[in-house]
Chain A
Amino acid sequence: MSPPNSLTGPSIELRALDELWFQVAGTVCNLTCHHCFISCSPQNHSFEFLAYDEVDAALQESVRHGVREYYFTGGEPFLNKDLRRMLKRTLEFGPATVLTNGTVFKPEWLSELYDAEQTSPFSLEFRVSIDGPSADINDPVRGEGTFVKAMNGVRLLCDAGFLPIITMTQTWDDSENLRILEDFRTVLRKQGCDRPRLKILPRLKIGAEVNRTEGYQDTERITDDMMQDFDRDQLLCHHSRIVTSKGVYVCPILIESPDARLGDTLDDVLQPFAMQHGACYTCYQYGAICTNTTLRPGESQVSS
């Protein structure tokens, strides 16, 4: 396949397939968050659940590509009844991370997964989306009662032996970040989570968020000049792809954009991608926001 037209946005090559994502619950979610960048809801079936065999096939294919770690997202991944089986299988290949809203799992499921992690050389991480340290901040965005439910999920994870990462989509001013982080640490400690891990994420102005606030301006795009001397590892599309029910896409954020569908198998999706979307601009500004750890620009490179 030929590289994309540079007029549509700077082209970024896939350096290596380090992370493989699974859109394991499609766009189906028990919640209908007003800022969801792919507008997930109980009724949104534009992407369907992945089957166990589809995940297993991709895991086996991923070995040849030297994939380092695996991420499971949705929708709400735990709505997929095969998720636990998929995760146990994944832990035979490498580390796994689940992005969950924390409102649907049961203690016995977590106990089962904890046991699976203990017999694996690899870690099982949970990232729970809670958009602020109080119901007053979280519930207007994620729905009435979701703060209490999600915090209960965090407690269940901690009780099971995990140390979840709490991710907050920022709906407040930058100047509030330190206070929000400290407030959330206090709240989590009161819940018995004595080692809080917190990560603030930027809003992505696509999907439902367009209706809640606004979309991207035409000027909010990555330009060729901006890519000069830029550490491309900051961009997820430089080292990741996502398997969905409709094929393999460039990243978890852009699955509703037709140009983001790159092929049917991992072998099909190694070509460069034209970063022409407003959401690409957010990734550029904030770094690989979807991964567990975010490295800042300017780090020393040995080789590509």
Chain B
Amino acid sequence: MKLALFGGLYSNYLALEAAIQDAHARNVDAIYCLGDLGAFGPHPDRVFPLLHEHNVACVQGNYDDSIGNELNDCQCGYTDPRDNHFAQISYDYTLANTSVANRSWLRTLPKEIRLNVDGLRVLLCHGSPRKTNEFLWESTTSTAFLERLCQKHNADIVVGTHSGIHWERVLSEGRRYINVGVLGRPENDGQTCVWSTILKTGTDADDSATVCAGQTPVSVDFVPINYDYQRLAAEMREESLPEEFVDTVLNGWWTTCLEILPSRERRAGRY
């Protein structure tokens, strides 16, 4: 099996189009989105037709829960006043520009999707299997903790997004945690691309695959997605979204919502 997995669209419909095209070019068996359809970018309604047209099954992220239920904020849990200021601008814009029908659909999304992939138990979630808005960063998540998540939630492979930077760790018996990164904004590394993930199992796995749960070869490709980021930036400006957000799209460095970053991930960025 070959699955395309991505999350954190943040209204970046141009990157979503590019990621779906990339997935089709790779002849994937299915495409999944791990949530947070809105935020940050322009014209939030534009991602929905693409998801429907291409049969992309979606997990509900914290942003989707908030927009769907018209809550007061995005539930990202920022405490820094500056982060909250920008998060609220983004949230208010997204809520105001998401149609009633799309908000209604967001409410119906599941918190997790469980798959049987070539005999492996694959769990798709947004933040972590136990909490939608839990950040799992590579530098602050022990292997023992990931082992516990897999064991407690009966999964051989746990796949999440939410934190915005892709990473993976191979656990005991070839089990894995995979963070697919996000399509919505660059990864705070000075590049303008965003990231999608291809999970390959069984006969579709690469030669470099490791055997998972004693039975099935698994390999993971993190795929840079290039898209028309200058067009996205222009549309963000037309919508009067903060120049700080536009700067991130054009230059690849995070300018807001930095408080949540652990020191190692923060040091990798510019701000």
Bound-complex Cα distance A234 to B144 (A): 22
Decide if B65 touches A95 in the complex (CB within 8 Å): no
Q: Is the interface of B mostly helix, strand, loop or mixed?
A: loop
In the complex, which range does the number of interface residues on chain B fall in?
A: 35 or more
Residues of A with C-beta under 8 A to B135: 293
Contact across chains for B75 and A122 when beta carbons are under 8 A apart: no
Question: Is B7 at the interface (CB under 8 A from chain A)?
Answer: no
**Chain A interface mostly helix, strand, loop or mixed?**
loop
Q: Which of B12-20, B39-47, B234-242, B258-266 contacts A (4 or more CB under 8 A)?
A: B258-266
Whether the pair A163, B260 counts as a contact (CB closer than 8 A) is no
Known interface pairs A16-B148, A163-B266; A298-B142 also in contact (CB < 8 Å): no
A7 is an interface residue with CB less than 8 A from chain B: no
A-contact 0/1 string along B75-90, CB 8 Å cutoff: 1010111000000000
Please indicate the chain A residues that have their CB under 8 angstroms from the CB of B94 in the complex. Answer: none
Residues of A within 8 A of B133 (CB): 295, 299-300
Q: C-beta contact mask, B59-74 vs A, less than 8 Å → 1, else 0?
A: 0001001000001000
Given that A123-B262, A125-B263, A296-B77 are known contacts, is A301 also in contact with B144, CB under 8 Å in the complex? Answer: no
Does B116 make an interface contact (CB < 8 A)? no
Q: Is B140's beta carbon under 8 Å from chain A? A: yes
Q: How many Å from the CB of B40 to the closest CB on chain A?
A: 19
Distance between A71 CB and nearest chain B CB, rounded to angstroms? 12
Q: A122, B139: Cβ atoms under 8 Å?
A: yes
| Bound Cα distance A95, B138 (Å) | 10
Q: Contacting A66 at CB < 8 Å: which of B71, B75, B80, B147?
A: B147
A233 interface residue (CB < 8 Å to B):
yes
Per-residue CB contact flags for chain B residues 115-145 toward chain A (1 = under 8 Å, else 0) read: 0000000000100111111010011111111
Q: Is the pair A301, B131 in contact by a Cβ cutoff of 8 Å?
A: yes
Contact B144 A163 (CB under 8 A): no
Q: Are B144 and A299 in contact (CB under 8 A)?
A: no
A302/B129 in contact, CB under 8 A: yes
* CB-CB nearest in chain A for B139: A123
B75 touches A67 (CB 8 A): no
Asked if A302 contacts B140 (CB within 8 A), the reply is no
Query: A residues 140-198 with Cβ under 8 Å of B?
Result: 161-163, 165, 177-178, 181, 195, 197-198
Instruction: Considering the complex, give the chain B residue whose CB is closest to the CB of A198.
Output: B80
Report how far A65 CA is from B131 CA in the complex, Å: 19
**B30 to chain A: closest CB distance in Å?**
22
> Which chain A residues in 66-80 approach chain B with CB under 8 Å?
66-69
Q: How far is the CA of A16 from the CA of B125 in the complex (A)?
A: 19
Let me know if B111 is at the binding interface, CB within 8 A.
yes
With an 8 A cutoff between CB atoms, is A285 at the interface? Answer: no
Does chain A have a CB within 8 A of B156? no
Q: A37-77: which have CB < 8 Å to B?
A: 62-69
Across the interface, B138 reaches (CB within 8 A) one of A63, A69, A121, A161, namely A121
- By the criterion CB–CB under 8 Å, are A195 and B129 in contact? no
- CB-based nearest A residue for B142: A94
Given A66-B147, A301-B132: A295 and B139 within 8 A (CB)?
no
**In the complex, what distance in Å separates the CA atom of A294 from the CA atom of B260?**
9
CB-nearest residue of chain A relative to B136?
A: A68
* Nearest B-chain residue to A297, judged by Cβ: B77
B82 to chain A, nearest CB (A): 9
Chain A contact residue count (CB 8 A cutoff): 43
Q: Which of A63, A66, A181, A302 contacts B125 (CB 8 A)?
A: A302
Whether a CB of chain A sits under 8 angstroms from the CB of B231 is no
Residues of B within 8 A of A197 (CB): 259, 263, 266
Say how far A270's CB is from chain B's closest CB, in angstroms. 14
Chain A residues positioned under 8 Å from B263 (CB to CB) = 123-125, 162-163, 165, 197
Closest chain A residue, CB of each to CB of B81 = A178
A199 to B132, CA, bound (A): 24
Whether the Cβ atoms of A63 and B144 lie closer than 8 Å is yes
Cβ-defined contact, B140 with A299, below 8 A? no
- Of residues 103 to 126 in A, which have CB atoms within 8 Å of B's CB atoms? 117, 121-125
Known: A123-B262, A233-B131. A299 touches B77 (CB 8 A): yes
Known A299-B62, A302-B130: A68·B142 in contact at CB below 8 Å? yes
Q: B75, B79, B111, B138: which has the most chain A beta carbons within 10 Å?
A: B79
Chain A interfacial positions (CB closer than 8 Å to B):
16, 18, 62-69, 93-95, 117, 121-125, 161-163, 165, 177-178, 181, 195, 197-199, 233, 292-296, 298-304
8 shortest A-B CB distances, which residue pairs?
A66-B148, A94-B142, A68-B145, A295-B77, A123-B139, A123-B264, A300-B132, A95-B140
Apart from A94-B141, A197-B259, A302-B125, what 18 extra A-B contacts exist at CB < 8 Å? A16-B148, A66-B145, A68-B141, A68-B142, A69-B145, A94-B142, A94-B143, A95-B262, A123-B264, A163-B267, A165-B263, A197-B266, A293-B79, A294-B77, A294-B79, A301-B130, A301-B132, A302-B131
Name 11 interchain pairs, CB-CB below 8 A, sorted by A: A16-B148, A95-B142, A178-B81, A293-B77, A293-B79, A298-B75, A300-B65, A300-B131, A301-B132, A302-B128, A302-B129
